[in-house]
């Protein structure tokens, strides 16, 4: 198991879209908008082995968890944060290396 961390400050999560994706393949770990997870956006590869800490969102903790790690999980992951009045999204990036 690994935690992909992303911490933000002063974001109203009620009007925000957040999604984690693997950069190279644009595979979405999860997609969260206006208080709800939308499983339709989640890539099949991450179903039943990734999770978000939704209870932590209001505190600015947008971390995601992946378990049952595979070598193919290695790569750069981006957490994209889009607020209602924002022109350019915020982003957290983290590199994962699975041995």
Which domains are present in the chain? 2-96 (2.60.40.10)
**Region class of 68: left (phi > 0), else alpha (psi between -120 and 50), else beta:** left
Predicted pLDDT of residue 6: 95
Digit-coded pLDDT (tens) for 74-88? 999 999 999 887 777
Grade residue 7 by pLDDT with cuts at 50, 70 and 90: very high
Question: What's the pTM?
Answer: 0.91
**Which pLDDT value is given to residue 35?**
84
Half-sphere exposure of 97 (CA within 13 A, CB side): 1
Give pLDDT tens digits for 35-56. Answer: 888 999 999 999 999 999 888 9
């Amino acid at each position: 198991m690994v935690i992909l961390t992303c911490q933000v400050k002063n974001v109203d999560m009620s009007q925000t879209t957040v999604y984690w994706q693997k950069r190279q393949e644009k595979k979405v770990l999860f997609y969260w908008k206006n208080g709800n997870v939308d499983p339709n956006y989640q890539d099949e590869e991450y179903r039943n082995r990734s999770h978000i800490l939704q209870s932590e969102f209001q505190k600015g903790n947008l971390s995601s968890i992946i378990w049952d790690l595979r070598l193919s999980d290695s790569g750069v992951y981006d957490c994209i944060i889009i607020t209602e009045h924002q022109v350019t999204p915020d982003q957290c990036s983290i590199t994962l290396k699975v041995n």
